[in-house]
Amino acid sequence: MANYVIQATESTIKRMEQYYNSYITGHLPAGALFVAKKNGCTITAYRSGKVLFQGKEAEKEAQIWSIPASQQPTLKEQNTRSSRLSIVSAVGSDEVGTGDYFGPIVVVAAYVAKEQISSLAKMGVKDSKQLTDEAICRLAPLLMEKIEYEQAVLSNHTYNQWQQNGMPQTKIKALLHNEAIKKLVQKLAPASPEAIIIDQFIERDRYFLYLEGERHVIRDHVYCIPKAETVHIAVAAASIIARYLFLHEMDKLSEQMGMNLPKGAGEHVDRAAASLIQTHGEASLEACAKLHFANTEKAKQIAMKFK
């Protein structure tokens, strides 16, 4: 049995846990954060930062996460790049809905020309997570009139099909980002953005690895940057519009299901899902929820208690 060990950062291990979410097993050896089994490979992540890959696919799986230190940019190089990118005409791309049990995933790509950067900043454009939903509902329509944008919305039904067929959420997000960016680049032609900045949910190499086999992949001037909304205002604009569209999708789903569907994935969501099961049956969740979330089983248990 082949064994490979890599040393990963805390943020990388968190992304790995999300990536392998549907493959995680219940047994944990001492010091382990999670164990996953995928396609003949067992992946064990430890609190020390070490990640062990075992099995016939160990080398292939480990290579997804291995980035030689010689290829990693220095802090100075990162700061220089961010400073340069912040003042160019750019497309920013961000997503919402990935952590919400109810509702679709919405990705928006937004284009901000360098001449628009100052005026958008004066409008109060910043990361949507720093704004209330009420503020977003006031700001987004103004923003949508001012800049070019495109969206990719993945329904819960399709999301569940893809997930049940073994597609990890990170690949789903890669496909949606490429789709929104592709539509926007086509709309902007013959003009071309100087940069395309994705709020990083995955390293750039792995982003393109997930897009292998797709007919039209946007590759030129693409950057995957953590906290990208602090690098270019186009990403912040995309996050605001994406949140606004997500809220509208949630309103439509709530009307369809005959009850207010809460955001997030906490206990209040468990109770709402249980209510749906009691009223419309378990199958109703397929159209409005991400079924692989732990909320599904919790909701079933709550619904059983009140039968």
- Give the model's pLDDT for residue 143: 96
- The answer to the question of whether 205 is labelled as a binding residue is no
How far is Cα 53 from Cα 42, in angstroms, rounded to an integer? 6
- Give the model's pLDDT for residue 57: 77
- Give the model's pLDDT for residue 69: 46
- The answer to the question of whether 199 is labelled as a binding residue is yes
- The answer to the question of whether 133 is labelled as a binding residue is no
Q: Are 63 and 47 in contact (CB under 8 A)?
A: no
Residues of the chain with pLDDT under 50: 69-70
Q: Which residues contact 217 (CB under 8 A, 6 or more apart)?
A: 178, 182, 208, 211
- Give the model's pLDDT for residue 28: 86
Which stretch of DSSP H or E encloses residue 278? helix 267-280
Helices of type H across 126-232: 133-146, 156-164, 169-188, 204-210
**Of 62, 34, 31, which is closest to residue 47 (Cα–Cα)?**
31
- Give the model's pLDDT for residue 17: 86
